[in-house]
């Protein structure tokens, strides 16, 4: 493998469609990419990480929901032709337009609370990158479904049932509000929960004008990861870590957008003891500046490395305390991108 630091590379897998064998495709793609004809072996090591983007896991499993199914579930909760408060939606055509269409198809009127910026930093009105006025766009969606649309302020109240659209604090909101009102108050996680009992409509993406792709369930994501891990071990003898990742948790400093629009960074992964832990790293730059020569530097590093827990220690000052789950998801998400790189699998080596 050479004297390399961290390696993160996208693995091409071809086009993955509904009902494809995602475990076989991922395994074969990684094996093909890592076969070394000079050594007649695979360039894989224990604790290498195979990260699979959530979209191909859900697509292969046929995890979809239609706009009509959303409308049916909304009507089941709120009744026919109800007035519904839609609270704090994400301002994204890809993420929310089809959800809104389903709600509007069931409702008589939507009262939408639209803060100046959504949870991830998108503006309420004209987005300078897309040129779309989201407020007008959401109004058009509702009116096309013969549903009245109006907005209200962040401090105003509503006298109707409500759907809270927050991405990450939905559980807290629900338990605070579920019994505080006479009419139903639910979150997006509770809509179409028959299709996804873990996340409902959270983390969905537009598929067609009448269908959305759901976020993978925890059970599905874990099963795929465990099966890929087992096959890699069978063919190579190596114990790799496999994870299913969604949005990375990073913020764009130019647009001010926090990319984390999924409910979690990873719905499933093997080796939870590692993935759910925090890096125990030394601040190398500080040691270099404080050490007079290479021999002294190595001696200081060896001494500091003996400490099993560096929390609060000066030797770790300046290292960002984040969980591996979020760090790996961010690295994989940046590597695979969200366009046409066609690399839904990312191989990360020398990271742990």
pLDDT at 316: 45
Which residues of the chain are in CATH 3.30.1330 domains? 7-62+216-279+322-349
- Number of other residues whose CB lies within 10 A of the CB of residue 197: 13
Which residues of the chain are in CATH 3.40.50 domains? 64-213
- Number of other residues whose CB lies within 10 A of the CB of residue 4: 8
pLDDT at 297: 64
- Local structure of 165: helix, strand or coil: coil
Nearest alpha-carbon partner for 108 in 138, 66, 150: 150
In order along its 352 residues, the chain shows pLDDT tens digits of 467 889 999 999 999 999 999 999 999 999 999 999 999 999 999 999 999 999 999 999 999 999 999 999 999 999 999 999 999 999 999 999 999 999 999 999 999 999 999 999 999 988 887 889 999 999 999 999 999 999 999 889 899 999 999 999 999 999 999 888 999 999 999 999 999 999 999 999 999 999 999 999 999 999 999 999 999 999 999 999 999 999 998 888 887 888 899 999 999 999 999 999 988 666 666 656 666 666 766 676 566 665 655 454 544 444 566 899 999 999 999 999 776 778 999 999 999 9
Q: Which CATH code for domain 64-213?
A: 3.40.50
**Cα separation, 109 vs 89, whole angstroms:** 16
pLDDT at 252: 84
pLDDT at 331: 96
- Number of other residues whose CB lies within 10 A of the CB of residue 284: 12
pLDDT at 314: 44
Nearest alpha-carbon partner for 263 in 193, 216, 322: 216
| CATH among 3.90.550, 1.10.3470, 3.30.1330, 3.30.390 for 7-62+216-279+322-349 | 3.30.1330
**Cα separation, 284 vs 301, whole angstroms:** 8
- Local structure of 336: helix, strand or coil: helix
Calculate the alpha carbon distances from 155 to 87, 90, 125, 151, 312 in Å: 12, 18, 19, 12, 41
- Local structure of 283: helix, strand or coil: coil
Q: Are 141 and 107 in contact (CB under 8 A)?
A: no
**Per residue in 118-156, is it b (16+ CB within 10 Å) or e — as a string?**
bbbebbbeebeeeeeebbebbbebbeebebebeeeeeee
For 93-133, the DSSP string reads HHHHHHHHHHHHHHEEEEEEE--SB-TTS-BSSB-TTT--B
């Amino acid at each position: 493998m050479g004297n390399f630091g961290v390696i993160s590379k996208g693995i091409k897998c071809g086009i993955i469609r509904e009902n494809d064998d995602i475990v076989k495709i991922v395994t074969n793609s990684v094996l093909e990419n890592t076969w070394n004809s000079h050594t007649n072996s695979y360039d894989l090591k224990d604790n290498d990480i195979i990260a699979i983007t959530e979209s191909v896991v859900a697509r292969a499993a046929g995890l979809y929901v239609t706009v009509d199914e959303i409308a049916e579930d909304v009507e089941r909760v709120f009744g026919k032709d109800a007035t519904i408060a839609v609270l704090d939606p994400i301002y994204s055509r890809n993420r929310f337009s089809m959800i809104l269409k389903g709600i509007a198809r069931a409702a008589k009127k939507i009262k939408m609370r639209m803060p100046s910026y959504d949870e991830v930093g998108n503006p309420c009105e004209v987005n300078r990158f897309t040129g779309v006025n989201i407020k007008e766009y959401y109004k058009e969606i509702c009116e096309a479904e013969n549903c009245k649309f109006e907005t209200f302020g962040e401090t105003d109240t509503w006298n109707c049932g409500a759907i809270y659209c927050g991405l990450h604090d939905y559980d807290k909101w629900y338990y605070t509000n579920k019994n505080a009102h006479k009419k139903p108050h639910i979150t997006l996680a509770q809509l179409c929960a028959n299709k996804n009992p873990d996340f409902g409509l959270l983390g969905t993406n537009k598929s067609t004008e009448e269908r959305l792709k759901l976020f993978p369930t925890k059970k599905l994501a874990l099963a795929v990861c465990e099966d890929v891990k087992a096959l890699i071990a069978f063919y190579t003898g190596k114990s790799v870590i496999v994870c299913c990742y969604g949005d990375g948790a990073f913020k764009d400093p130019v647009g001010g957008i926090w990319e984390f629009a999924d409910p979690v960074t990873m719905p499933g992964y093997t080796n939870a003891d590692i993935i759910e832990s925090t890096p125990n790293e030394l601040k190398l730059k500080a040691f270099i500046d404080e050490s007079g020569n290479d021999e002294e530097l190595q001696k200081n590093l060896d001494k500091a490395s003996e400490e099993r827990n560096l929390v609060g220690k000066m030797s770790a000052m300046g290292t960002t305390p984040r969980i591996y789950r979020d760090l790996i998801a961010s690295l994989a998400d940046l590597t695979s991108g969200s366009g046409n790189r066609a690399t839904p699998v990312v191989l990360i080596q020398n990271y742990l």
